[in-house]
């Protein structure tokens, strides 16, 4: 218990420090300077919460769409600790999280209100433009968090932004373990679990380690998004040592426009 309290106290202090950096330092920093601080802060937060970090593979440079399995809110920090230039696509609800929203904003996050078709179209086009401009954009194609033991079906329409500008897609496998479990239950963020509850479980974890594995990228030029989603899901399942079920991909919410533009709803 005391270990968890100490870790949470350190995490809160680091969170406040992060907000001060965003408010006071970011305006005078260039992109490289901001990314360096994002990487430092993310890695520091993992350490404050008692979590080790292992990295395998390399993240490719240039415009790239990262596709990762989704287990917890801390997935973003784990990736940013290795690839700070990644711009995540996140549900708009995150903007209502105290403290966290300030830090998420500074990383160039793209917010989407999934229930609004027009807003989803806007974000998809922003993703495509960011990739075309050489940025790294990251998505969780499962659309929600899982327990880390099996991949959920992928939303294939999330890949259309990369296909539209022929950007490579790189799968990123995330795995959390602890002293007693090959797949740690401490990081699960399922159902009605709140952010505070999740923070406490992670802070009380014993020997938590996150492994971030950057796999070989896949080309997207002229790809069929459902076929590409199936290949990427298979790549991640293999890297995670998981059996791949035959669950179909969730249906697209709208038909793909004939000119190949981005689909109106990203998952």
Angle at 116 between CA 110 and CA 119, to 5 degrees: 40
* pTM for this entry: 0.86
72 inside domain: yes
Sheet (strand 136-139) strand order: 52-56, 209-214, 169-177, 64-68, 136-139, 86-91, 110-112
Task: Show the domain range for 202.
Answer: 2-240
Question: Coil, strand or helix: which one is 182?
Answer: coil
Given this model, what pLDDT does residue 250 score?
A: 58
The answer to whether 128 touches 163, Cβ cutoff 8 Å, is: no
Look at the chain and report how many structural domains it folds into: 1
In a domain, 262, yes or no: no
- Cα of first residue to Cα of last residue in the chain, in angstroms, is 39
The pLDDT of residue 109 is: 83
pLDDT value for 118: 75
175 three-class SS = strand
pLDDT at 266: 31
Rounded to the nearest 10 degrees, the angle between the axes of helix 31-48 and helix 2-24 is 170
Q: What is the pLDDT of residue 99?
A: 64
Does 168 map to a domain?
yes
Residue 117 lies in a domain: yes
What's the DSSP call for residue 243? Answer: -
**Is residue 247 in some structural domain?**
no
CATH number of 140's domain? 3.40.1130.10
Return the pLDDT at 256.
Answer: 30
Q: Rounded to the nearest 10 degrees, what angle do helices 2-24 and 195-203 cross at?
A: 120
Quick check: is 85 in a domain? yes
Domain annotation covers residue 16: yes
* 150 domain-assigned: yes
Low-confidence ranges of the chain (pLDDT < 70): 95, 97-102, 114-116, 245-267
Classify the C-alpha dihedral 25-29-33-36 as positive or negative: positive
Euclidean distance between CA atoms 118 and 191, whole angstroms: 28
């Amino acid at each position: 218990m005391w270990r968890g309290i100490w870790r949470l106290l350190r995490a809160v202090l680091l969170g406040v420090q992060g907000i001060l950096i965003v408010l006071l330092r970011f305006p005078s920093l260039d992109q490289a300077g901001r990314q360096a601080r994002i990487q430092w802060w993310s890695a520091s937060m993992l350490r404050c919460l008692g979590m080790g970090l292992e990295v395998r593979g390399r993240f490719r440079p240039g415009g790239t769409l990262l596709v990762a399995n989704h287990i917890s809110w801390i997935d973003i920090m784990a990736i940013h600790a290795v690839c700070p230039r990644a711009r995540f696509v996140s549900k708009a609800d995150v903007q209502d999280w105290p403290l966290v929203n300030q830090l998420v904003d500074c990383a160039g996050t793209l917010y989407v209100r999934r229930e609004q078709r027009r807003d989803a179209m806007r974000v998809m086009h922003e993703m495509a433009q960011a990739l075309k401009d050489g940025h790294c954009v990251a998505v969780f194609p499962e659309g929600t968090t899982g327990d880390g033991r099996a991949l959920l079906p992928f939303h294939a329409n999330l890949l259309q932004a990369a296909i539209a500008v022929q950007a490579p897609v790189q799968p990123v496998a995330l795995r959390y373990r602890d002293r007693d479990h090959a797949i740690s239950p401490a990081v699960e963020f399922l159902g009605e679990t709140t952010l505070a509850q999740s923070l406490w479980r992670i802070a009380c974890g014993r020997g938590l380690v996150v492994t971030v594995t950057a796999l070989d990228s896949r080309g997207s030029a002229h790809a069929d998004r459902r076929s590409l989603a199936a290949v990427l899901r298979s790549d991640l399942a293999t890297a995670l040592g998981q059996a791949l079920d035959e669950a179909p991909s969730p249906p697209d919410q709208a038909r793909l426009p004939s000119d190949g533009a981005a689909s109106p709803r990203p998952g």
